[in-house]
Amino acid sequence: MQTQREPDSSALFDNLHSVVARLRESREVTHKVRHRGHIRELPSRQGMRHIVEMLSAVLFPTHYGRPDLQDANIDFYVGDTLSAALSALADQIRRALLFAADERDAADPTLADNAHALTARFADALPEIRAVLVSDLYAAYQGDPAATSISEVLLCYPGCVAVIHHRLAHALYQLGVPLLPRLIADIAHSLTGIDIHPAATIGNRFFIDHGTGVVIGETAIIGRGVRLYQAVTLGAKRFPVEPDGALTKGVPRHPIVEDDVVIYAGATVLGRITIGKGSTIGGNVWLTHDVPPGSNVSQAQMTSN
């Protein structure tokens, strides 16, 4: 019987020092991409993911926290989880402020104080964020005949997960916190396939059904009671440029969707156009012009009620 010989692993590490040295050369000299050229305490994607998980548990304790909670201990659980979430968030906000600071401000000893103040303001907004999210949940339950309960929406609907992330990210964006809102948005995108820029303004009773492939751009404004289906894009038609060729930042370039609009699967809505209140946009429509209130737009025609 022939005995199988263990492979010699030493060859794997013969050139280890050379590879490390060449990576350092790439990192420090040849292909240097470090933010502003210096090592910084960058915000952590993994840390932000855990913070959002804790905040979701604070907002909906038995659905995203512990399903065995009772009246006697639920407030203790919420308080303990919120305390841990806010402590971690304050550190991430400090890192984000450091990330955005110039060289003179990077050594500012008040960065930590500013981070704690922003965290306190964010915490104060959580009850209002939850109220809006509850309106979103009811919109999902009432808008989908397949939904059997609010709990099912919370536990099973990717659109719900994406909207929770967006409401939290948008609150941080409104407070002027750099980078972290984009991290939260991209975490939601990775989890759900739904890409919502944290700057997008979205009214209450918002529902994304199915959701995969939905894209909502930075300057989009969405009213109350809007429903989107999978693969809907609210995007830009064109990108203005500066004289030097750089893209102009912050220009309103995404659609305005007024109250009670429904946009069906695969529709692409581009540019700073307005979809009037109560309109319905059919599946796979390519839309680049304003739509009056009460319209029904399909691939073949547009009619007004």
Do the domain assignments include residue 30?
A: no
Structure confidence at residue 304 (pLDDT): 58
At 80-91, the pLDDT tens digits run 999 999 999 999
Per-residue confidence at 107, pLDDT binned at 50, 70, 90?
A: low
Same domain, 172 and 74: yes
Structure confidence at residue 94 (pLDDT): 95
Same domain, 221 and 169: no
Report the predicted TM-score, pTM, of the whole model to 2 decimal places: 0.89
Q: Are 197 and 214 in contact (CB under 8 A)?
A: no
Structure confidence at residue 239 (pLDDT): 77
Same domain, 139 and 237: no
Residue finishing a domain among 158, 193, 228:
193
Do the domain assignments include residue 300?
A: yes
Same domain, 122 and 188: yes
Q: How many whole angstroms separate alpha carbon 158 and alpha carbon 296?
A: 27
Work out how many domains the chain is built from and give that number: 2
Same domain, 68 and 187: yes
Do the domain assignments include residue 97?
A: yes
Same domain, 47 and 151: yes
> pLDDT at residue 274 above 90?
yes
Domain containing residue 45: 40-193
Residue finishing a domain among 125, 158, 193:
193
H or E segment and range at residue 168: helix 158-174
Do the domain assignments include residue 235?
A: yes
Sign of CA dihedral 198, 201, 205, 207: negative
At 243-268, the pLDDT tens digits run 887 777 879 999 999 999 999 999 99
Do the domain assignments include residue 32?
A: no
Residue finishing a domain among 193, 221, 247:
193
At 35-79, the pLDDT tens digits run 666 656 899 999 999 999 999 999 999 999 999 999 999 999 999
Same domain, 189 and 226: no
CA distances from 239 to 1, 142, 246 (A): 71, 38, 10
Structure confidence at residue 241 (pLDDT): 79
Question: What CATH number does the domain containing 279 carry?
Answer: 2.160.10.10
Residues 97-102, mean pLDDT to the nearest whole number: 87
Q: How many whole angstroms separate alpha carbon 174 and alpha carbon 68?
A: 35
Same domain, 226 and 184: no
Same domain, 46 and 124: yes
Same domain, 293 and 151: no
Do the domain assignments include residue 105?
A: yes
Same domain, 99 and 184: yes
Residues 206-219, mean pLDDT to the nearest whole number: 97
